[in-house]
Structure 1
Amino acid sequence: MLKQLLLLAFALILVSACAQKDIKEYVAENRIDIKTVSPDSTDFSDLYTFGKVIGDSRIVMLGEQDHGDAPTFLAKTRLIKYLHEQKGFNVLAFESDFFALNEGWDKLEKQKGKIDSFILGNIFGVWTKCKECDNLFYHYIAKTYQDKKPLVITGFDSQIHGIYSLETLKIFIDNYLKTKRINYAHTEKYKKDFLSFFDSIKYNDDIKKQINFNEALKQIDLELTTKDTAFFERMLLESLKANTESEISFLSKNNDFLNIRDKQMAENLKWLLKYKFPNEKIIVWAANSHILKHPELIENSTWNKWNNWNIMKTMGDFFIVDSLLNEQTYILGFDSRTGNAGRITNDKKNVVQTPFNDSFETWIPKNIPYAFIDFKQFRNENPIKKEYFFMKGVEHSANSALWTDVYDGIFYIRDMYPCGSSREK
């Protein structure tokens, strides 16, 4: 009897294995064609499936292969409008200055001219100077503040680059530490190693000054009686510490500087979700290389010239360690077939790599300009299918990877082209 049961179980496993579809077949049968990436399109019927598969997700991450991908930015703008208007996402979080896009945005008078100016000065210029982002930055966001449901802007990057930060961060931190009666804040060393560092915090390649600043942060941490990072100021200090440790790693030619930054971006994003926006749904705007999960499933590539693949970690990977957040998050990568790429802040333009034979891009008919493929459904329907295939899923060059585990879905763009110059900059 036992032998018969074992044979039956084995037969069922074989049947199940045979029923597993390969990814190429799945893409052919489940591809959803997207009619347009124009932000002016108010007919969201082609995004119905996208909305259905994200379900009750609280976090939707939108990637990009490079920071100059014009049609990707158009597509993301349209997706943001859909998520905001149809799915109740009222917060848009950028891979940009944590301090400026929280403290600064909260204090900003929400009038169109002031919103436009603030965005231009505090979100990275690769987006704010790109013509294809104009609709989002200089029209839509301000317009929502005339409605009942404004789209709140925030940021999670530990890097300090915003004009608001460069003008006010030093004073903000100094005032906070003095109200906490930090003894170190009344020393000459505090002025020399800590406060003066803020004057060059955006670009400072002096490793000794970076180390001294980091030591000052450690001393301040020792004296602070309040360790609860529920407070913005404490989280800000943690973010500053991570930023300088990343810089020290880079200047020391170590290979973990991106890991440090990505880990802190994940922590900052978790803080936003838990403490600042506990009842809100959040859209995340960042690079593919930050939002992807399980980077160990991507085989050797030219993606990351600085890191050892054995230790490479990403924001998305750090973020989904929390099982609840993993369940609540949908990560959408972007992929393109052909064209040119380059950033508005750099004159250099590059040809998008021609797809490999039988790669993901070749599975999409050439007459289809845009498409969405849900990988999460594939995982659910084919739990034991682990198939590596080539796709340009990080930057504009192909890697072999178990892409169905790296992303929850992919937005395909046939023709890539770089940003034009914004009329608003």
Structure 2
Amino acid sequence: MLSTSMTSAVIPIRTVYGEASTGTSSQPMNGTVVHEQQVRTARSYQAALSDWKRWAADHAYALHTIQPEAWSSNGGSIAHDKFSDLDMLIPLLADKRIVYLGENSHGVAEFNLVKTRLIQYMHQTLGFNIVAFESGLGDAALAQGQIKMTATQETMMRSIFGVWWTKETKPLFEYMKETHKSESPLRLTGFDIQVQSPLFQNANWIPSNGLKDRALQAEQEVHKWRMSKDLSGFRKAKRELIKVYEELLQVVTKNENALKMDYPDEPHIVKLMKRALEDRIRVIQEFNELCIQSNILTEQEDYSASQSMMEWRDRAMASNLAWLATEIYPEENIIVWGHNGHISKAQSLISTMPKSMGELMSKELQQESYVMGLFMGEGQAAENTREPVQLDPIIPGSMEDILSAAGQPYTFMDLRYRENERGNSWIFERMIASYQVMMPMSLELRRHFDGVLLIKQVKMPTYLPHKVTKQIG
């Protein structure tokens, strides 16, 4: 963690040239007159910072509100004039297939609110009809499959991780459900591979009660082993676990109609369930072993295995998201909801950090994407455990400090379509920013994100009652 007292030591200072001052020397040299020369003097860091703040204030966009808009009770339509402050996104996103909405903490009320409003806008104005959460692929598929017949809160808790079971996220699911009365419903999917909740509760498509019981037990075992330090014990158990999921894959093929009847609101439920079961097998074969090795080494303060585990997960999420974009929704525009650390286009540029999902996506999909990082200024956030975190003051000279100069509570800055000019060199060089909550890092912002949204003052969410399975953030 960097304190404000360390600022001068950690913020890179690049020589920047100010206005020219001129000299008047014209002394002859060997019979030749030396013409007047322009002498340039380097400006101070504080002068450069002032230039950056003036430029940011002149080029940033202010959001009028972060509150989700009220929608009609007959299909979820919203009058376009409610979104006039977001129209600056049209030239940035009109030719994009995937828009990533990040966050540097999962525990910020304002992030949940503003993402919901941004999703409403993109759905209403730009034709984005899929929301893909950093949550279980199978869990989201099952929730989407029964969205019309299930209470909103139940849909939310069935589909996404408990870090987002909040009062501020619930309007998204209310809106999503309402749009299913229209010809352009906003639909839900997920791309994570973690065991979130059992996929086989009330699974009428599994005809054998014995297999259903074994499947539910296997779900518990897969999660339990991930938390273990008994590598040899897991290696003995993994073959039997894999056999359960291989049997389930055969049942899906034999009982496709029953599966479709159980989940009528998800037309791709068969393909999605097969993918979820294949993911479980991959978790057993590879991911859980990495987790166990990480658990063992972390106890010895060796975090090398943790890096491998995190990159494996991001590779799996990138594979799932690319599959969704090309195989399941090849004609749809997708909004991705996840952490800054997963959506970054270049996380491995940060020392010791693994490659992120965003940088592992294919070049073609990267070109069709826009990556928006969300950042906070001051206030209070929450850990994944829901424990409060009091934020440090904004670091002078940081990205948050520069954008705060716009004097607005909600400030957006496009980075992707900027040319390097006087006043915006901070976009192109290394700059301090809180990439993760309470973890200021030196970043080349434009390499990581196409745009940034700063919420100046934040608070922790209002959480709903829960029982959360421990997840990796």
Which bracket does the TM-score occupy, shorter chain normalised? 0.7 to 0.9
**Inter-CA distance 232–350: structure 2 relative to 1 (3 Å threshold):** closer
Whether the 8 Å CA contact 1:242–1:260 is kept in 2: the answer is: no
The answer to whether structure 1 residue 167 and structure 2 residue 205 are counterparts is no
Q: Secondary structure at the match of 1:99?
A: helix
The answer to whether structure 1 residue 334 and structure 2 residue 374 are counterparts is yes
Structure 1 residue 168 displacement after superposition: 6.4
* Structure 2 equivalent of residue 419 of structure 1: 461
Whether the 8 Å CA contact 1:37–1:74 is kept in 2: the answer is: yes
Distance 2:448 2:376 in 1: 17
Structure 1 residue 82 displacement after superposition: 0.2
Q: 2:182 aligns with which of 135, 147, 152?
A: 147
Q: Which runs of 5+ in 1 are unaligned?
A: 1-20, 176-184, 186-190, 301-307
Q: 1:70 aligns with which of 109, 132, 145?
A: 109
Specify which structure has the higher proportion of helix. Answer: 1
The answer to whether structure 1 residue 122 and structure 2 residue 165 are counterparts is no
Q: Secondary structure at the match of 2:69?
A: coil
* Structure 2 equivalent of residue 211 of structure 1: 235
* Structure 1 equivalent of residue 88 of structure 2: 49
Whether the 8 Å CA contact 2:348–2:356 is kept in 1: the answer is: no
Q: Deviations over 1:79-112 (max 9, x none)?
A: 000011111001111111111212x13532513x
Whether the 8 Å CA contact 2:147–2:177 is kept in 1: the answer is: no
Distance 1:289 1:169 in 2: 35
| Structure-to-structure mapping, 1:233-382, within 5 angstroms | 235-244=275-284, 245-253=286-294, 254-255=305-306, 256-298=308-350, 300=351, 308-309=352-353, 312-319=354-361, 322-343=362-383, 345-346=385-386, 348-363=387-402, 364-365=404-405, 367-378=407-418
Q: Deviations over 1:383-414 (max 9, x none)?
A: 9x841111113334311110111001001100
Q: Which runs of 5+ in 2 are unaligned?
A: 1-48, 71-78, 251-269, 295-304, 468-473
* Structure 2 equivalent of residue 8 of structure 1: none
Structure 1 residue 23 displacement after superposition: 6.4
The answer to whether structure 1 residue 198 and structure 2 residue 231 are counterparts is no
Whether the 8 Å CA contact 1:288–1:395 is kept in 2: the answer is: no
Distance 2:246 2:167 in 1: 47
Whether the 8 Å CA contact 1:242–1:264 is kept in 2: the answer is: no
Whether the 8 Å CA contact 1:246–1:258 is kept in 2: the answer is: no
**Inter-CA distance 251–49: structure 2 relative to 1 (3 Å threshold):** same
Moved >4 Å (runs of 4+): 21-26, 168-172, 212-225, 230-234, 379-383
* Structure 1 equivalent of residue 167 of structure 2: 131
* Paired residue type of 2:456: R
* Paired residue type of 2:400: E
Distance 1:415 1:197 in 2: 44
* Structure 2 equivalent of residue 3 of structure 1: none
* Structure 1 equivalent of residue 440 of structure 2: 398
Structure 1 residue 136 displacement after superposition: 1.2
Structure 1 residue 362 displacement after superposition: 1.4
Distance 1:117 1:237 in 2: 23
Larger gyration radius, structure 1 or structure 2:
2
Distance 1:125 1:167 in 2: 18
Structure 1 residue 276 displacement after superposition: 1.0
**Inter-CA distance 33–222: structure 2 relative to 1 (3 Å threshold):** closer
Structure 1 residue 218 displacement after superposition: 7.8
* Paired residue type of 1:134: K
The answer to whether structure 1 residue 29 and structure 2 residue 58 are counterparts is yes
Distance 2:237 2:274 in 1: 16
* Structure 1 equivalent of residue 263 of structure 2: none
Q: Secondary structure at the match of 1:398?
A: strand
User: Number of residue pairs matched?
Assistant: 367
Distance 1:29 1:59 in 2: 28
Whether the 8 Å CA contact 1:92–1:283 is kept in 2: the answer is: yes
* Structure 1 equivalent of residue 3 of structure 2: none
Distance 1:168 1:315 in 2: 33
Q: Secondary structure at the match of 2:114?
A: helix
Q: Secondary structure at the match of 1:162?
A: coil
* Structure 2 equivalent of residue 87 of structure 1: 126
**Inter-CA distance 99–408: structure 2 relative to 1 (3 Å threshold):** same
**Inter-CA distance 162–208: structure 2 relative to 1 (3 Å threshold):** same
- Bigger shift: 359-368 or 285-294? 359-368
Structure 1 residue 420 displacement after superposition: 1.2
**Inter-CA distance 233–107: structure 2 relative to 1 (3 Å threshold):** closer
Q: Secondary structure at the match of 1:340?
A: strand
Structure 1 residue 323 displacement after superposition: 1.7
Q: Secondary structure at the match of 2:188?
A: strand
**TM score, norm. by length of structure 1:** 0.76
Distance 1:169 1:209 in 2: 30
Distance 1:409 1:236 in 2: 32
Structure 1 residue 216 displacement after superposition: 5.9
Whether the 8 Å CA contact 2:433–2:440 is kept in 1: the answer is: yes
**Inter-CA distance 23–296: structure 2 relative to 1 (3 Å threshold):** farther
Q: Secondary structure at the match of 1:338?
A: strand
Structure 1 residue 68 displacement after superposition: 1.1
Whether the 8 Å CA contact 1:266–1:315 is kept in 2: the answer is: yes
**TM score, norm. by length of structure 2:** 0.69
